[in-house]
Copies of this chain bind each other. A is one copy, B any other.
Amino acid sequence: MSAALVTLGELQRALGGELIGEAGRSVTAIAALERAGPDAITFLAQARLRPLLAASQAACVVLKPEWQADLPTGCAALLTPDPYLYYARLTQWWAARQRAAAPKGVHPSAQVAEGVRLHPSASVGPFAVIEPGAVLEAGVVVDAHGWVGEGAHLGEGTRLAPRVTWGAHCRIGARGLVGSGAVIGGDGFGFAPAGGAWIKIEQLGAVRMGCDVEIGANTCVDRGALDDTVLGDGVKLDNQIQIAHNVQIGDHSAMAGCVGVAGSARIGRHCTFGGAAMVFGHLEIVDHVHVAGASVVMRSITAPGQYSGIFPLDDKASWERNAATLRQLHQLRQRVRGLELDREQQP
C-alpha cells in the first residue's frame, strides 16, 4: 500500500522518537528491511537482523539508539527504545491517513429497527440489519451485511467488518474490532441424551467481551448455556477460531488461527496459544501459559510456562515405523524393565 508523500519530520512529530537526518526528507511507503527502497521507511526490531542494515537502501530506519552506528551513510533514522512498537504505531498512523472513514449514519438500504439506540456518529452499512433494543455507541461501525441482534451492545469505537453476525444480547466494550464472517453468540453445543437421541439444551446466556478485543475472520464465539461466555480486555483472537459456550478468557490472552476451546474452559490472563492448539473443556489454565501450535491441552495447567505436544514430522516411511512402534511403547517399557530386573539378579 503506497501513500502520498510523508516527511520524516511529520512522522517524528506524530509518533515521537529522535530523528537523525533531514526532517524534510520524504517517504511514500513502509517496507520490510530487506526490501525497503529509497522511497521507504523501515524498522529494525531484532538484533539478529543488524547485519542487514549495512546494505539497506531505505530512506529511514526505525531502530534502537545503540544500533545507530550500523546505519549506512545517507540513511536517516528514528531512534526509539522499542522499534517494533514504533512500527506498530507507524502502521496505525499510516492506515488512518489512507483509509477513508466510514460514513456516519445509516445507509439507505440498511434495516434498523425501532428503538435501536444509535449514536449519531455511528455508521451502519449497506444491507445491515440492526434488531430492536440494540445499542451502538459513538463511532461504532457496522459494515455491509452486518447483523446485530436484539439487545446487543457495541461499545464506543467498535468496528464490525463487512458481514459479521453479532448475536442477541451479546456485548463488547470500546475499540473492538471484529473480522468478516465472525459469528458471535451462536448457540453453544449442548444436548441431553434421551433414548439414543439428543435433546437440545437452549442456550440462554450471552457473550460478554471487554475493551480492545479483536476477533478474526470466520471466528465463532458461542453464547453461554446459562451464564455468559466471557472474553477479557485486550483479548486477541485470530481467524477460524472456535470458542465454545461458557469459556472464560483472561485479559490480554491471544490465540492464533484455528484454535479451538471446548466448553467451560477457563483460561488465564496473558496466555498465548499457537495456531490450531486445542483446549479441552472444563479445565483451568493459569496466567502466563504459552501453548505451542497444534498442541492439545487435555488437563488443567497450574504453572506458567511453555507447553508443547506435537508429533514430530518425518518422512513417511520413518513415521510409519515409529508410529507402529509407538502403539507398543508401553510393552517396550515392560521389556526394558525385564532386562533391568535380569541385570539386577545377575551375580
Query: Residues on A close to B: CB < 8 A?
Result: 1, 30-32, 35, 82, 84-85, 87-89, 91-92, 94-95, 100, 109, 111, 125-127, 129, 144-145, 147, 149-150, 161-163, 165, 169, 177, 179-181, 183, 186-187, 189-194, 196-206, 212, 214, 216-218, 220, 222, 225-227, 234, 236, 238-240, 242, 244, 252, 254, 256-258, 260, 262, 270, 274-276, 278, 280, 291-299, 301, 305-316, 318-330, 332-333, 335-336, 339-340, 342-343
Contacts and interface: CB of A to CB of B under 8 A. Distances in A.
Contacts of A242: 238-240, 257-258, 275
B252 A262 contact: no
A174 to B, nearest CB: 14
Given A32-B227, A339-B340, A326 B306 contact: no
Given A165-B181, A260-B275, A309-B311, 13 more contacts: A1-B204, A32-B227, A84-B192, A144-B147, A296-B311, A306-B315, A307-B319, A308-B316, A309-B312, A311-B323, A322-B328, A322-B329, A326-B329
Nearest to A111: B126
Contact of A88 (B201, B205, B206): B201
The 4 A-B residue pairs with the shortest CB-CB distance, nearest first, are: A186-B217, A95-B202, A88-B192, A309-B313
A216 B187 contact: yes
A227 B31 CA distance: 8
Contacts of A206: 1
Contacts of A295: 311, 313
Given A329-B322, A329-B326, A35 B227 contact: yes
B218 A181 contact: yes
9 contacts: A91-B204, A92-B200, A179-B187, A186-B217, A200-B214, A222-B239, A242-B257, A260-B276, A328-B333
